[in-house]
Structure 1
Amino acid sequence: MKISLFSAKQYDKDYFEKVNTSFGFEIEYFDTHLGPHIINAIEDTDAVCVFVNDKVDAKVIESLAAKHVKIIALRCAGFNNVDLEAAKKYGMKVCRVPSYSPEA
């Protein structure tokens, strides 16, 4: 599985690389947020992983669907930045963290 991870900070990269040793996913990191300006850079990606400031609206979801993306994973508890109806329309799964750690 290939994952495109957006709004990636160095600590994200460090953590995901460490955890990924158990899974072996192919992860492509983007420092920029997900939006129409970067969709063409996504190739053969199964999932996108976004953060709270990534706007995943209907236009972005339509473009992701055209690239055969199947999953939108959020690195945040909130999901108001994702058009859930558009995701449903294109058969995309959306997942998020259930809550934040009280020790974070």
Structure 2
Amino acid sequence: MTNPTANKITFFSTQAYDKQFFSECNTPFGFELDYFETQLNATTANLVQEGSVVCVFVNDKVDANVVKQLAAKKVTIIALRCAGFNNVDVEACR
């Protein structure tokens, strides 16, 4: 990886079962995982560390304001663990 902080993944809207599952799956990879029970929105985007990958759930708000904040923190990947993406401003992500 070219970004030394790209080994961090920040999860929002997590439950205990999410933490257990992703922690177990991460064992062979050793990524640094940060879990937040709170939803991602313009107020909570400040919880993301610079260069992290962000993983969101169905009720997280990934609007233009949030995307701008994440981009300022050098976030280049927003992963979704939900079926749809109506909570994501796709144009803002481009």
Amino acid at match of 1:63: Q
Alignment root-mean-square deviation, CA: 0.9
Match among 4, 7, 13 for residue 19 of structure 2:
13
**How far is 1:75 from its partner?**
0.4
Larger Rg: 1
Give structure 1 stretches of 5+ with no counterpart.
Answer: 89-104
1:81 matched to 2:87? The reply is yes
**How far is 1:62 from its partner?**
0.4
Q: Give identity over the alignment, percent.
A: 58
Residue 15 of structure 1 aligns to a residue whose secondary structure is: helix
Give structure 2 stretches of 5+ with no counterpart.
Answer: 1-6
1:43 matched to 2:49? The reply is yes
Residue 4 of structure 1 aligns to a residue whose secondary structure is: strand
Q: What per-residue deviation string (whole Å, max 9, x for no partner) do you get for residues 58-79 of structure 1?
A: 0100010011101000001201
1:22 matched to 2:28? The reply is yes
Task: State the TM-score, normalized to the length of structure 2.
Answer: 0.89
Q: Distance in 1 between matches of 2:83 and 2:61?
A: 15
**How far is 1:40 from its partner?**
1.7
Amino acid at match of 1:68: K
Map of 1:64 onto structure 2: 70
Q: Distance in 2 between matches of 1:40 and 1:46?
A: 12
Q: What per-residue deviation string (whole Å, max 9, x for no partner) do you get for residues 30-54 of structure 1?
A: 0000011112222224210000000
Number of aligned positions between the proteins: 88
Q: Comparing both chains, which one has the higher relative contact order based on Cα–Cα distances under 8 Å and sequence gaps of 6 or more?
A: 2
Task: State the TM-score, normalized to the length of structure 1.
Answer: 0.81
